[in-house]
């Protein structure tokens, strides 16, 4: 950071206090010759992050969606990291396509363009299929990207171990578990067959979503390091001037980005976890087109219900219930005081509801949230990392379209609909039905299980069973319970 001149820029963007600045320069200045030089033609922060490697670029992409955290100038500079990084040569991409698909590129495509977008892991070319004349987008992984990511992740593991060793307070953040989670996400992103499968599943889930499109996967032209999708025409969702000139309603687009994400997360439990501006377009008819499915988030039904109750509590400003849900889910240690936690949450929520969205400082809000988690001993929940990260990114995209958008106003109808369908009498009946179906699958095995339990009890030494008559009663009770379950299941 010092060698590229980015240290000042970054410290200014985060309003770093003087002591931190002094420590940063004391540690950085004598060793700046060890730092990567980077591309001098780039702005300092972008130059430093790009030089560090693909894993750091991912972090820069998140920051690029939050001008309210890093400032407008910094966010604009970091936007380059989304899809405008230096590409690798077209000839290298064509050789990779031929190797992966097992055929010369000239046989597969009548046209194969220069790179039209380049990000940390791959770049995209526009091509035309020989067989059908269809225009397609061909995504090709960067040469050596697997090795580069492995190097970055190894460095993250080292940093996590150092943090756990020398900063005991960081243990609640579970740095090793976080990096392990990140490692798994990255490994999936480096196999484009898995991305093709994710795109196909996502398309099935969202086929009836109004105002939302996904380009189809062309499986015959996809492999581990190459992925081919149908071409999607549209304007970049990050180009406000172009959207205005085309007559699109940016406020409506921002609301739709938020509501789509919430619907996918709550309704399906499967959502696009990399929804920055570089991965979305706006079609001529106003539909949002999403692509790049390398990072997808999955949350189970129980977690979705917890998440929905927390959001609903904030929307209703019922901070006591929000606190109780945290305790019930085990997010806050039971030794803490639920009433104190509710008051801390009120300090988080009230500024959001009582202030215009343009005046809310997300940086200060996130800082206070971190203080709350530290005060109440909350540990990092790895199953929520992608959800929380995507929430931050999606709100940033929506606010870049319309700074006055308030996430809670948009979330209210989506969350209320989910609460009605998933938490209540209908949900209980549905859960019981699913439980009955699971038990029914074990129906043929239940007599055998009962017989084994009775035989095991009968074979127990007489003197021991005599001293513990409760065991016989327990075995008999278990047998009766299993039989009753079998009868009830088949009745249902």
Element (DSSP H or E) covering residue 281: strand 280-282
Question: Do 81 and 47 touch, CB atoms closer than 8 A?
Answer: no
Residue 247 has a CB neighbour count (10 Å cut-off) of 7
Q: In what order do the strands lie in the sheet with 280-282?
A: 212-213, 288-290, 280-282, 235-236
Alpha-carbon distance 113 to 25, whole Å?
A: 45
**Region for 304 from its dihedrals, namely left if φ exceeds 0, alpha if ψ lies in -120 to 50, beta otherwise:** alpha
Backbone angles phi, psi at 122, to 5 degrees: -150, 170
Residue 144 burial by CB count (10 A; 0-12/13-18/19+): exposed, middle or buried?
exposed
- Pair 307, 299: CB distance under 8 Å: yes
How far apart are alpha carbons 487 and 65 in whole angstroms? Answer: 57
Cβ atoms < 10 Å from Cβ of 304: 18
Helices (runs of H) and strands (runs of E) counted in the chain: 24, 10
Q: For the chain, what percentages of helix, strand and coil (3-state, to nearest 5) are there?
A: 65, 10, 25
Residue that the structure tokens 């209703």 belong to: 316
Q: Are 83 and 118 in contact (CB under 8 A)?
A: yes
Residue 259 in contact with residue 418, Cβ under 8 Å? no
Answer whether 441's CB lies under 8 Å from 294's CB: no
Catalytic residues: 274
| 226-230 β-sheet, strand order | 109-118, 122-129, 135-141, 226-230
């Amino acid at each position: 950071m010092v060698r590229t001149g980015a240290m000042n820029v970054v410290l200014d963007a985060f309003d770093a206090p003087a002591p931190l600045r002094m420590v940063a320069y004391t540690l950085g200045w004598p060793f700046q010759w060890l730092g990567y030089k980077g591309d001098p033609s780039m702005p300092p922060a972008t130059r430093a992050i790009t030089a560090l490697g693909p894993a750091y670029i991912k972090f820069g992409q998140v920051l690029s969606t939050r001008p309210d955290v890093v400032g407008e100038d910094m966010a604009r500079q970091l936007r380059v990291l989304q899809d405008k990084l230096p590409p690798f040569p077209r000839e290298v991409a064509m050789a990779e396509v031929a190797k992966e698909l097992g055929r010369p590129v000239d046989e597969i495509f009548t046209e194969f363009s220069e790179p039209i977008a380049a990000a940390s892991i791959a770049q995209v070319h526009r091509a035309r299929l020989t067989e059908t004349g269809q225009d397609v987008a061909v995504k090709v992984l960067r040469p050596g990207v697997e090795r580069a990511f492995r190097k970055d992740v190894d460095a993250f593991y080292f940093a996590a171990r150092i943090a756990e060793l020398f900063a005991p307070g960081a243990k609640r953040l579970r740095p090793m578990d976080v990096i392990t989670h990140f490692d798994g996400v990255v490994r999936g992103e480096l196999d484009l067959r898995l991305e093709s499968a994710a795109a196909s599943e996502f398309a099935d889930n969202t086929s009836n979503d109004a105002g939302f499109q996904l380009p189809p996967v062309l499986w015959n032209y996809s492999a581990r390091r190459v992925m081919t999708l149908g071409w999607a025409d549209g304007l970049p969702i990050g180009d406000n001037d172009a959207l205005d000139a085309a007559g699109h309603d940016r406020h409506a687009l921002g609301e739709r980005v938020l509501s789509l994400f919430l619907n996918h997360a709550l309704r399906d439990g499967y959502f696009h976890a990399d929804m920055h501006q570089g991965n979305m377009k706006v079609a001529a008819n106003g539909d949002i087109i999403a692509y790049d499915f390398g990072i997808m988030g999955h949350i189970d039904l129980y977690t979705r219900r917890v998440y929905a109750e927390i959001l609903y509590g904030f929307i209703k400003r019922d901070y006591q219930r929000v606190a109780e849900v945290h305790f019930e889910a085990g997010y806050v240690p039971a030794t803490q005081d639920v009433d104190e936690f509710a008051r801390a949450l009120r300090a988080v929520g009230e500024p959001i509801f009582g202030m215009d969205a343009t005046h809310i400082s997300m940086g200060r809000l996130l800082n206070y949230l971190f203080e709350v988690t530290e005060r109440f001993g909350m540990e990092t929940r790895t199953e929520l990392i992608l959800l929380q990260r995507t929430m931050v990114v999606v709100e940033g995209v929506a606010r870049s379209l319309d700074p006055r958008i308030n996430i809670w106003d948009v979330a209210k109808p989506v969350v209320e609909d989910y609460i009605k369908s998933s938490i209540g009498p209908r949900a209980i009946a549905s859960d019981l039905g699913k439980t009955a179906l699971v038990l029914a699958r074990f129906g043929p095995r239940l007599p055998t299980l009962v017989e084994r339990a009775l035989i095991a009890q009968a074979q127990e030494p007489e003197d021991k069973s005599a001293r513990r008559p409760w065991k016989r009663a327990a075995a008999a009770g278990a047998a009766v319970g299993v039989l009753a379950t079998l009868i009830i299941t088949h009745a249902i």
